[in-house]
Amino acid sequence: MAQGLSIKKLLIANRGEIACRVIRAAKELGLETVQVVSEADTDSLAARLADEVKVIGPPHPAKSYLDAGAILSAASECGADAIHPGYGFLSENAGFADAVASAGLTFIGPLANTIRLMGEKAAARAQARDAGVPTVPGSDGVIKDVDEALTLAETIGFPVMIKASAGGGGRGIRVAESSDDVRRLAPQASSEAEAAFGDSGIYVEKQIEKARHIEVQVLGDGFDVVHFFDRECSLQRRRQKVWEEAPSAAISDTVRARLCASAVDLAKSVNYLGAGTVEYLYDEATGEFYFIEMNTRIQVEHPVTEMICGTDLVIGMIRVCAGQKLALTQDEIARTGHAIEVRLNAEDPANNFMPFPGIVTGLRVPKGDGIRFDHMLYDGYEIPPFYDSLLGKLIVWAPDRAQAITRLTSALRNLGIDGLPTTAPLFLALAGNAEVQANAVHTAWMETWLERNSDMLTKQGEAAA
Protein backbone atom coordinates (compact mmCIF):
# COMPACT_ATOMS: atom_id res chain seq x y z
CA MET A 1 0.00 0.00 0.00
CA ALA A 2 1.18 3.49 -0.85
CA GLN A 3 2.69 5.29 2.17
CA GLY A 4 0.64 3.31 4.64
CA LEU A 5 -2.63 4.31 2.99
CA SER A 6 -5.60 1.98 2.77
CA ILE A 7 -5.97 2.75 -0.95
CA LYS A 8 -3.72 2.28 -3.94
CA LYS A 9 -5.53 3.37 -7.10
CA LEU A 10 -7.32 6.71 -7.31
CA LEU A 11 -9.88 7.58 -9.98
CA ILE A 12 -10.27 11.28 -10.74
CA ALA A 13 -13.91 12.11 -11.49
CA ASN A 14 -13.27 15.59 -12.85
CA ARG A 15 -11.39 17.42 -15.57
CA GLY A 16 -9.27 20.51 -16.22
CA GLU A 17 -6.75 22.04 -13.88
CA ILE A 18 -8.13 20.37 -10.74
CA ALA A 19 -7.77 16.91 -12.32
CA CYS A 20 -4.09 17.71 -13.03
CA ARG A 21 -3.70 19.00 -9.46
CA VAL A 22 -5.17 15.83 -7.94
CA ILE A 23 -2.98 13.61 -10.14
CA ARG A 24 0.10 15.44 -8.87
CA ALA A 25 -0.90 14.84 -5.23
CA ALA A 26 -1.77 11.19 -5.93
CA LYS A 27 1.63 10.59 -7.51
CA GLU A 28 3.39 12.13 -4.54
CA LEU A 29 1.50 9.69 -2.35
CA GLY A 30 2.57 6.77 -4.55
CA LEU A 31 -0.97 6.10 -5.75
CA GLU A 32 -1.82 4.84 -9.24
CA THR A 33 -4.15 7.18 -11.11
CA VAL A 34 -7.11 6.64 -13.43
CA GLN A 35 -8.46 9.65 -15.28
CA VAL A 36 -12.03 9.40 -16.58
CA VAL A 37 -12.68 11.60 -19.61
CA SER A 38 -15.51 12.55 -21.91
CA GLU A 39 -15.00 12.06 -25.64
CA ALA A 40 -14.04 15.75 -25.79
CA ASP A 41 -11.19 15.32 -23.29
CA THR A 42 -9.22 12.34 -24.62
CA ASP A 43 -6.36 14.76 -25.44
CA SER A 44 -6.47 16.68 -22.17
CA LEU A 45 -3.38 17.30 -20.05
CA ALA A 46 -4.97 15.26 -17.24
CA ALA A 47 -5.37 12.33 -19.66
CA ARG A 48 -1.67 12.66 -20.54
CA LEU A 49 -0.58 12.82 -16.91
CA ALA A 50 -2.62 9.91 -15.54
CA ASP A 51 -1.44 6.29 -15.53
CA GLU A 52 -4.71 5.11 -17.12
CA VAL A 53 -7.51 6.81 -19.04
CA LYS A 54 -11.14 5.69 -19.34
CA VAL A 55 -13.62 7.28 -21.72
CA ILE A 56 -16.97 7.48 -19.95
CA GLY A 57 -19.26 9.17 -22.46
CA PRO A 58 -20.06 12.07 -24.78
CA PRO A 59 -18.96 15.67 -24.13
CA HIS A 60 -22.17 16.80 -22.42
CA PRO A 61 -21.48 16.71 -18.65
CA ALA A 62 -24.80 14.95 -17.96
CA LYS A 63 -23.54 12.07 -20.09
CA SER A 64 -20.02 11.91 -18.68
CA TYR A 65 -18.73 13.85 -15.65
CA LEU A 66 -22.17 13.86 -14.03
CA ASP A 67 -22.95 10.23 -14.91
CA ALA A 68 -22.36 8.45 -11.60
CA GLY A 69 -23.10 5.03 -13.14
CA ALA A 70 -20.51 5.47 -15.90
CA ILE A 71 -17.90 6.65 -13.39
CA LEU A 72 -18.52 3.73 -11.04
CA SER A 73 -18.33 1.23 -13.93
CA ALA A 74 -15.00 2.72 -14.96
CA ALA A 75 -13.75 2.42 -11.38
CA SER A 76 -14.72 -1.21 -11.21
CA GLU A 77 -13.18 -2.03 -14.62
CA CYS A 78 -9.88 -0.41 -13.61
CA GLY A 79 -9.82 -1.75 -10.08
CA ALA A 80 -9.72 1.75 -8.59
CA ASP A 81 -10.36 1.75 -4.85
CA ALA A 82 -10.94 5.49 -4.33
CA ILE A 83 -12.57 8.41 -6.16
CA HIS A 84 -11.61 12.09 -5.96
CA PRO A 85 -14.47 14.30 -7.15
CA GLY A 86 -12.55 17.60 -7.50
CA TYR A 87 -14.86 20.67 -7.39
CA GLY A 88 -18.12 21.26 -9.27
CA PHE A 89 -19.69 18.24 -11.02
CA LEU A 90 -20.47 15.50 -8.46
CA SER A 91 -18.26 16.84 -5.68
CA GLU A 92 -21.14 17.97 -3.45
CA ASN A 93 -23.63 15.33 -4.50
CA ALA A 94 -24.57 13.23 -1.46
CA GLY A 95 -26.14 10.53 -3.65
CA PHE A 96 -22.83 10.08 -5.45
CA ALA A 97 -20.88 9.89 -2.18
CA ASP A 98 -23.33 7.21 -1.04
CA ALA A 99 -23.01 5.27 -4.30
CA VAL A 100 -19.21 5.35 -4.09
CA ALA A 101 -19.32 4.00 -0.52
CA SER A 102 -21.92 1.35 -1.44
CA ALA A 103 -19.61 0.14 -4.21
CA GLY A 104 -16.99 -0.43 -1.50
CA LEU A 105 -14.79 2.46 -2.64
CA THR A 106 -13.32 5.38 -0.69
CA PHE A 107 -14.84 8.79 -1.46
CA ILE A 108 -12.25 11.58 -1.08
CA GLY A 109 -14.67 13.92 0.60
CA PRO A 110 -17.03 14.03 3.59
CA LEU A 111 -19.53 11.30 4.43
CA ALA A 112 -22.73 11.52 2.39
CA ASN A 113 -24.71 12.59 5.46
CA THR A 114 -22.36 15.51 6.09
CA ILE A 115 -22.84 16.65 2.49
CA ARG A 116 -26.61 16.42 3.06
CA LEU A 117 -26.34 18.50 6.19
CA MET A 118 -23.92 21.15 4.94
CA GLY A 119 -24.11 21.09 1.15
CA GLU A 120 -27.66 22.37 1.04
CA LYS A 121 -27.42 26.02 1.98
CA ALA A 122 -30.70 26.43 3.86
CA ALA A 123 -29.93 23.37 6.02
CA ALA A 124 -26.35 24.53 6.60
CA ARG A 125 -27.62 27.87 7.96
CA ALA A 126 -29.60 26.00 10.59
CA GLN A 127 -26.60 23.85 11.49
CA ALA A 128 -24.45 26.99 11.79
CA ARG A 129 -26.98 28.67 14.09
CA ASP A 130 -27.09 25.56 16.27
CA ALA A 131 -23.29 25.58 16.48
CA GLY A 132 -23.37 29.21 17.65
CA VAL A 133 -21.99 30.61 14.39
CA PRO A 134 -23.58 33.94 13.37
CA THR A 135 -25.59 33.72 10.12
CA VAL A 136 -26.95 36.46 7.86
CA PRO A 137 -30.46 37.45 9.04
CA GLY A 138 -32.99 35.58 6.92
CA SER A 139 -35.31 32.61 6.63
CA ASP A 140 -35.03 29.59 8.92
CA GLY A 141 -35.02 27.11 6.08
CA VAL A 142 -36.34 26.99 2.53
CA ILE A 143 -39.37 29.24 2.15
CA LYS A 144 -42.81 27.71 1.54
CA ASP A 145 -44.30 30.39 -0.69
CA VAL A 146 -44.07 33.98 -1.90
CA ASP A 147 -46.05 35.26 1.09
CA GLU A 148 -43.49 33.88 3.50
CA ALA A 149 -40.70 35.54 1.49
CA LEU A 150 -42.60 38.85 1.53
CA THR A 151 -43.25 38.85 5.28
CA LEU A 152 -39.63 37.99 5.94
CA ALA A 153 -38.24 40.61 3.56
CA GLU A 154 -40.39 43.28 5.19
CA THR A 155 -39.17 42.21 8.64
CA ILE A 156 -35.44 42.11 7.87
CA GLY A 157 -35.54 45.06 5.48
CA PHE A 158 -34.61 45.54 1.82
CA PRO A 159 -32.56 44.80 -0.16
CA VAL A 160 -32.77 41.04 0.33
CA MET A 161 -31.20 38.20 -1.58
CA ILE A 162 -33.24 35.31 -2.86
CA LYS A 163 -30.91 32.35 -3.04
CA ALA A 164 -31.21 28.81 -4.41
CA SER A 165 -30.55 26.35 -1.60
CA ALA A 166 -28.68 24.11 -4.05
CA GLY A 167 -26.91 26.98 -5.82
CA GLY A 168 -23.20 27.29 -6.41
CA GLY A 169 -20.58 29.01 -8.55
CA GLY A 170 -22.35 32.35 -8.06
CA ARG A 171 -25.50 31.10 -9.75
CA GLY A 172 -29.04 31.06 -8.41
CA ILE A 173 -28.87 34.39 -6.53
CA ARG A 174 -31.26 37.37 -7.06
CA VAL A 175 -31.43 40.74 -5.37
CA ALA A 176 -34.85 42.13 -4.45
CA GLU A 177 -35.12 45.84 -3.63
CA SER A 178 -38.88 45.90 -2.99
CA SER A 179 -41.96 43.76 -2.33
CA ASP A 180 -42.74 43.89 -6.05
CA ASP A 181 -39.29 42.47 -6.77
CA VAL A 182 -39.92 39.64 -4.31
CA ARG A 183 -43.28 38.80 -5.93
CA ARG A 184 -41.65 38.76 -9.35
CA LEU A 185 -38.27 37.17 -8.54
CA ALA A 186 -39.13 34.47 -5.99
CA PRO A 187 -41.13 32.27 -8.42
CA GLN A 188 -38.51 32.87 -11.14
CA ALA A 189 -35.66 31.98 -8.82
CA SER A 190 -37.44 28.84 -7.73
CA SER A 191 -38.13 27.53 -11.23
CA GLU A 192 -34.61 28.42 -12.36
CA ALA A 193 -33.17 26.58 -9.40
CA GLU A 194 -35.25 23.55 -10.33
CA ALA A 195 -33.91 23.68 -13.90
CA ALA A 196 -30.28 24.38 -12.96
CA PHE A 197 -29.84 22.31 -9.81
CA GLY A 198 -32.80 19.87 -9.84
CA ASP A 199 -34.02 21.46 -6.59
CA SER A 200 -36.52 24.32 -6.44
CA GLY A 201 -35.78 25.25 -2.81
CA ILE A 202 -35.03 28.94 -2.23
CA TYR A 203 -34.37 31.00 0.90
CA VAL A 204 -34.14 34.67 1.76
CA GLU A 205 -31.19 36.52 3.28
CA LYS A 206 -30.56 40.16 4.07
CA GLN A 207 -28.13 41.71 1.62
CA ILE A 208 -24.99 42.79 3.45
CA GLU A 209 -23.83 45.84 1.54
CA LYS A 210 -20.15 46.54 0.87
CA ALA A 211 -19.26 43.23 2.51
CA ARG A 212 -16.03 41.37 2.14
CA HIS A 213 -15.96 37.65 1.34
CA ILE A 214 -13.69 35.94 3.86
CA GLU A 215 -13.51 32.17 4.26
CA VAL A 216 -11.72 29.64 6.46
CA GLN A 217 -10.04 26.44 5.28
CA VAL A 218 -10.65 23.43 7.51
CA LEU A 219 -9.52 19.82 7.45
CA GLY A 220 -11.09 17.12 9.58
CA ASP A 221 -10.45 13.43 10.15
CA GLY A 222 -13.93 12.63 11.46
CA PHE A 223 -12.84 13.22 15.07
CA ASP A 224 -10.73 16.32 15.15
CA VAL A 225 -10.72 19.45 12.97
CA VAL A 226 -7.96 21.98 12.30
CA HIS A 227 -8.03 25.23 10.32
CA PHE A 228 -5.45 26.64 7.92
CA PHE A 229 -6.43 30.27 8.44
CA ASP A 230 -8.44 32.47 6.09
CA ARG A 231 -8.67 33.64 2.51
CA GLU A 232 -10.24 36.78 1.14
CA CYS A 233 -12.15 36.56 -2.15
CA SER A 234 -13.85 39.94 -2.44
CA LEU A 235 -12.89 40.57 -6.06
CA GLN A 236 -15.79 38.93 -7.87
CA ARG A 237 -17.68 39.14 -11.14
CA ARG A 238 -21.25 37.89 -11.19
CA ARG A 239 -20.70 36.64 -7.63
CA GLN A 240 -17.90 34.38 -8.79
CA LYS A 241 -14.42 34.86 -7.40
CA VAL A 242 -11.70 35.96 -9.82
CA TRP A 243 -8.83 36.99 -7.49
CA GLU A 244 -8.18 35.42 -4.09
CA GLU A 245 -5.70 36.11 -1.31
CA ALA A 246 -4.45 34.57 1.89
CA PRO A 247 -4.61 35.82 4.53
CA SER A 248 -7.27 38.56 4.44
CA ALA A 249 -5.55 41.90 4.92
CA ALA A 250 -8.83 43.43 6.10
CA ILE A 251 -9.18 41.83 9.52
CA SER A 252 -7.21 42.04 12.74
CA ASP A 253 -5.66 38.94 14.24
CA THR A 254 -8.33 39.10 16.95
CA VAL A 255 -11.14 38.90 14.40
CA ARG A 256 -9.18 36.23 12.51
CA ALA A 257 -8.93 34.10 15.65
CA ARG A 258 -12.72 34.34 16.23
CA LEU A 259 -13.47 33.57 12.60
CA CYS A 260 -11.21 30.52 12.48
CA ALA A 261 -12.51 29.24 15.82
CA SER A 262 -16.10 29.52 14.62
CA ALA A 263 -15.30 27.55 11.44
CA VAL A 264 -13.67 24.82 13.51
CA ASP A 265 -16.69 24.74 15.89
CA LEU A 266 -19.05 24.32 12.95
CA ALA A 267 -16.96 21.57 11.32
CA LYS A 268 -16.60 19.79 14.67
CA SER A 269 -20.38 19.95 15.19
CA VAL A 270 -20.75 17.61 12.19
CA ASN A 271 -17.61 15.48 12.88
CA TYR A 272 -16.21 16.76 9.62
CA LEU A 273 -14.10 14.48 7.44
CA GLY A 274 -12.03 15.87 4.57
CA ALA A 275 -11.20 19.37 3.31
CA GLY A 276 -13.86 22.03 3.57
CA THR A 277 -14.36 25.76 3.50
CA VAL A 278 -16.60 27.83 5.72
CA GLU A 279 -17.56 31.02 3.89
CA TYR A 280 -18.48 34.30 5.61
CA LEU A 281 -19.38 37.84 4.74
CA TYR A 282 -17.53 40.40 6.82
CA ASP A 283 -19.14 43.77 7.42
CA GLU A 284 -16.29 46.20 7.88
CA ALA A 285 -18.59 48.94 9.14
CA THR A 286 -19.68 46.91 12.17
CA GLY A 287 -16.84 44.39 12.47
CA GLU A 288 -19.40 41.56 12.37
CA PHE A 289 -19.04 38.41 10.30
CA TYR A 290 -21.85 36.16 9.11
CA PHE A 291 -21.76 32.56 7.86
CA ILE A 292 -23.07 32.20 4.28
CA GLU A 293 -22.28 28.63 3.28
CA MET A 294 -19.92 25.71 3.57
CA ASN A 295 -18.27 24.09 0.55
CA THR A 296 -17.75 20.43 1.39
CA ARG A 297 -14.94 19.91 -1.11
CA ILE A 298 -11.58 21.27 -2.19
CA GLN A 299 -11.97 24.81 -3.54
CA VAL A 300 -10.55 26.45 -6.64
CA GLU A 301 -8.49 28.87 -4.51
CA HIS A 302 -6.95 26.31 -2.12
CA PRO A 303 -3.39 27.05 -3.41
CA VAL A 304 -3.15 30.44 -1.67
CA THR A 305 -3.56 28.66 1.65
CA GLU A 306 -0.99 26.04 0.65
CA MET A 307 1.46 28.84 -0.13
CA ILE A 308 1.14 30.62 3.24
CA CYS A 309 0.94 27.44 5.33
CA GLY A 310 3.47 25.34 3.39
CA THR A 311 1.08 22.42 3.27
CA ASP A 312 -0.52 20.26 0.58
CA LEU A 313 -4.28 20.25 1.17
CA VAL A 314 -5.05 17.71 -1.55
CA ILE A 315 -2.62 15.24 -0.01
CA GLY A 316 -4.13 16.09 3.38
CA MET A 317 -7.68 15.35 2.25
CA ILE A 318 -6.68 12.07 0.58
CA ARG A 319 -4.92 10.93 3.75
CA VAL A 320 -7.78 11.64 6.14
CA CYS A 321 -10.43 10.22 3.79
CA ALA A 322 -8.30 7.08 3.43
CA GLY A 323 -8.56 6.66 7.20
CA GLN A 324 -5.47 8.37 8.59
CA LYS A 325 -5.60 10.72 11.55
CA LEU A 326 -4.76 14.39 11.05
CA ALA A 327 -0.97 14.66 10.75
CA LEU A 328 -0.82 18.12 12.38
CA THR A 329 -2.24 19.64 15.51
CA GLN A 330 -3.51 23.22 15.40
CA ASP A 331 -0.35 24.43 17.20
CA GLU A 332 1.80 23.01 14.43
CA ILE A 333 0.03 25.01 11.72
CA ALA A 334 1.61 28.38 11.09
CA ARG A 335 1.35 30.87 8.27
CA THR A 336 3.85 33.21 6.77
CA GLY A 337 3.72 35.91 4.09
CA HIS A 338 0.95 36.65 1.62
CA ALA A 339 -0.34 34.77 -1.43
CA ILE A 340 -2.55 35.86 -4.33
CA GLU A 341 -4.28 33.71 -6.95
CA VAL A 342 -5.89 34.92 -10.17
CA ARG A 343 -8.20 32.77 -12.30
CA LEU A 344 -7.15 32.67 -15.94
CA ASN A 345 -10.28 32.03 -17.96
CA ALA A 346 -10.64 31.54 -21.70
CA GLU A 347 -12.75 34.69 -21.85
CA ASP A 348 -12.31 38.04 -23.55
CA PRO A 349 -12.32 40.83 -20.94
CA ALA A 350 -12.44 43.38 -23.76
CA ASN A 351 -15.67 41.82 -25.02
CA ASN A 352 -17.83 41.46 -21.92
CA PHE A 353 -15.94 38.30 -20.88
CA MET A 354 -17.29 36.29 -23.76
CA PRO A 355 -16.08 32.66 -23.50
CA PHE A 356 -13.46 32.02 -26.14
CA PRO A 357 -12.37 28.42 -26.48
CA GLY A 358 -9.63 28.00 -29.09
CA ILE A 359 -6.26 26.44 -29.79
CA VAL A 360 -3.23 27.28 -27.64
CA THR A 361 -0.58 28.19 -30.21
CA GLY A 362 2.10 29.03 -27.67
CA LEU A 363 2.58 28.68 -23.93
CA ARG A 364 5.13 30.47 -21.74
CA VAL A 365 4.92 29.59 -18.07
CA PRO A 366 6.35 32.15 -15.61
CA LYS A 367 8.98 30.74 -13.27
CA GLY A 368 10.79 31.91 -10.19
CA ASP A 369 10.61 31.97 -6.42
CA GLY A 370 7.08 32.22 -5.10
CA ILE A 371 5.41 31.63 -8.47
CA ARG A 372 3.09 28.70 -9.17
CA PHE A 373 0.90 28.00 -12.20
CA ASP A 374 -1.77 25.30 -11.79
CA HIS A 375 -3.24 24.69 -15.22
CA MET A 376 -4.54 22.33 -17.92
CA LEU A 377 -2.61 23.66 -20.93
CA TYR A 378 0.05 22.57 -23.39
CA ASP A 379 1.28 24.01 -26.67
CA GLY A 380 -1.20 22.95 -29.37
CA TYR A 381 -4.04 22.11 -26.94
CA GLU A 382 -7.52 22.65 -28.34
CA ILE A 383 -9.81 23.86 -25.58
CA PRO A 384 -13.16 22.08 -25.83
CA PRO A 385 -16.19 24.42 -25.76
CA PHE A 386 -18.38 22.29 -23.49
CA TYR A 387 -17.09 23.17 -20.04
CA ASP A 388 -16.40 26.16 -17.85
CA SER A 389 -13.73 28.54 -19.02
CA LEU A 390 -11.11 28.16 -16.25
CA LEU A 391 -7.75 27.33 -17.89
CA GLY A 392 -5.52 27.71 -14.92
CA LYS A 393 -4.56 29.74 -11.90
CA LEU A 394 -1.50 31.87 -11.41
CA ILE A 395 -0.47 31.92 -7.77
CA VAL A 396 2.23 34.06 -6.21
CA TRP A 397 3.69 34.24 -2.72
CA ALA A 398 5.81 37.01 -1.17
CA PRO A 399 6.69 38.16 2.35
CA ASP A 400 3.92 40.78 2.31
CA ARG A 401 0.91 41.84 0.27
CA ALA A 402 2.58 44.74 -1.57
CA GLN A 403 5.42 42.51 -2.71
CA ALA A 404 2.93 39.81 -3.73
CA ILE A 405 1.17 42.31 -6.00
CA THR A 406 4.52 43.32 -7.54
CA ARG A 407 5.40 39.67 -8.10
CA LEU A 408 1.96 39.01 -9.59
CA THR A 409 2.47 41.82 -12.08
CA SER A 410 5.82 40.52 -13.24
CA ALA A 411 4.59 36.92 -13.38
CA LEU A 412 1.59 38.02 -15.49
CA ARG A 413 3.96 39.82 -17.86
CA ASN A 414 5.98 36.61 -18.23
CA LEU A 415 2.92 34.43 -18.80
CA GLY A 416 2.05 33.76 -22.41
CA ILE A 417 -1.04 31.90 -23.56
CA ASP A 418 -1.11 32.51 -27.32
CA GLY A 419 -3.99 31.90 -29.70
CA LEU A 420 -6.89 33.07 -27.57
CA PRO A 421 -7.87 35.91 -25.25
CA THR A 422 -7.67 35.30 -21.51
CA THR A 423 -8.47 37.25 -18.39
CA ALA A 424 -4.76 38.10 -17.86
CA PRO A 425 -5.21 41.79 -18.94
CA LEU A 426 -7.92 42.18 -16.29
CA PHE A 427 -5.49 41.11 -13.58
CA LEU A 428 -2.72 43.41 -14.81
CA ALA A 429 -5.20 46.28 -14.58
CA LEU A 430 -6.37 45.20 -11.11
CA ALA A 431 -2.81 44.79 -9.83
CA GLY A 432 -2.08 48.35 -10.94
CA ASN A 433 -5.23 49.78 -9.35
CA ALA A 434 -4.80 52.02 -6.30
CA GLU A 435 -7.91 50.74 -4.51
CA VAL A 436 -6.84 47.11 -4.98
CA GLN A 437 -3.36 48.01 -3.76
CA ALA A 438 -4.90 49.71 -0.71
CA ASN A 439 -7.24 46.72 -0.27
CA ALA A 440 -10.20 49.12 -0.27
CA VAL A 441 -12.59 46.70 -1.96
CA HIS A 442 -15.78 44.73 -1.31
CA THR A 443 -17.73 42.05 -3.19
CA ALA A 444 -19.54 44.54 -5.45
CA TRP A 445 -16.47 46.73 -6.06
CA MET A 446 -15.15 45.02 -9.17
CA GLU A 447 -18.41 45.09 -11.13
CA THR A 448 -18.71 48.84 -10.58
CA TRP A 449 -15.06 49.32 -11.49
CA LEU A 450 -15.55 47.26 -14.67
CA GLU A 451 -18.47 49.46 -15.71
CA ARG A 452 -16.31 52.55 -15.30
CA ASN A 453 -13.27 51.03 -17.03
CA SER A 454 -14.54 48.94 -19.90
CA ASP A 455 -12.65 51.26 -22.30
CA MET A 456 -9.32 50.59 -20.68
CA LEU A 457 -9.75 46.81 -20.94
CA THR A 458 -10.77 47.14 -24.58
CA LYS A 459 -7.61 49.13 -25.32
CA GLN A 460 -5.41 46.72 -23.36
CA GLY A 461 -6.97 43.84 -25.32
CA GLU A 462 -6.19 45.61 -28.60
CA ALA A 463 -2.62 46.31 -27.51
CA ALA A 464 -2.12 42.66 -26.53
CA ALA A 465 -3.59 41.33 -29.81
Closest to ligand ADP by CB, 292 vs 317, is 292
Distance CA 140, CA 152 (A): 10
The interface with ligand ADP within residues 76-95 (CB under 6 A) comprises: 87-88
- Smallest CA-to-CA distance from 355 within 364, 347, 365 is with 347
Distance CA 353, CA 92 (A): 27
The interface with Mg ion within residues 1-20 (CB under 5 A) comprises: none
* Apex 387 CA angle, 195 and 202, nearest 5: 25
The interface with Mg ion within residues 257-316 (CB under 5 A) comprises: 279
383 touches ligand ADP by CB under 6 A = no
Q: Binding residue for ligand ADP (CB under 6 A) from 169, 222, 357, 358?
A: 169
* Apex 454 CA angle, 448 and 457, nearest 5: 125
Closest to ligand ADP by CB, 38 vs 207, is 207
Q: Supply the minimum distance, in Å, between the C-beta of residue 339 and ligand ADP.
A: 15
281 touches ligand ADP by CB under 6 A = yes
120 binds, among ligand ADP, Mg ion, none (CB under 5 to 8 A by kind): none
Please provide residue 238's backbone torsions phi and psi, each rounded to the nearest 5 degrees: 50, 40
Q: Give one DSSP letter per residue of 357-377, joined into a string.
A: --B--EEE---STTEEEEE--
The one catalytic residue in 15, 297, 343, 372 is: 297
- Smallest CA-to-CA distance from 212 within 429, 52, 443, 453 is with 443
386 touches ligand ADP by CB under 6 A = no
292 touches ligand ADP by CB under 6 A = yes
443 binds, among ligand ADP, Mg ion, none (CB under 5 to 8 A by kind): ligand ADP
300 touches ligand ADP by CB under 6 A = yes
The interface with ligand ADP within residues 230-249 (CB under 6 A) comprises: 236, 239-241
Torsion of CA 156, 161, 163, 168, to 10 degrees: -130
Q: Give one DSSP letter per residue of 421-464, joined into a string.
A: --SHHHHHHHHT-HHHHTT---TTHHHHHHHHHHHHHHHHHHHH
* Inter-CA distances, 337 with 62, 85, 386, Å: 42, 30, 38
Cα Rg, the chain, nearest whole Å: 21
Q: What binding mask, one character per residue, do residues 94-133 give for ligand ADP by CB under 6 A, x or -? A: ----------------------------------------
Q: Give one DSSP letter per residue of 4-16, joined into a string.
A: G-S--EEEE---H
Q: What binding mask, one character per residue, do residues 170-189 give for ligand ADP by CB under 6 A, x or -? A: x--x----------------
197 touches ligand ADP by CB under 6 A = yes
421 touches ligand ADP by CB under 6 A = no
Closest to ligand ADP by CB, 5 vs 18, is 18
Max CA-CA distance within the chain?
A: 62
How many residues touch ligand ADP under the rule CB under 6 A: the total is 31
343 is catalytic: no
Strand positions, DSSP E, 75-131: 82-84, 106-107
How many residues touch Mg ion under the rule CB under 5 A: the total is 1
Q: Report the Cα–Cα distance between both ends of the chain, in Å, rounded.
A: 51
Footprint on this chain of ligand ADP (rule: CB under 6 A): 87-88, 136, 161, 166-170, 173, 197, 205-208, 211, 213, 236, 239-241, 279, 281, 292-293, 295, 299-301, 388, 443
Footprint on this chain of Mg ion (rule: CB under 5 A): 279
Q: Which residues belong to the active site? A: 297
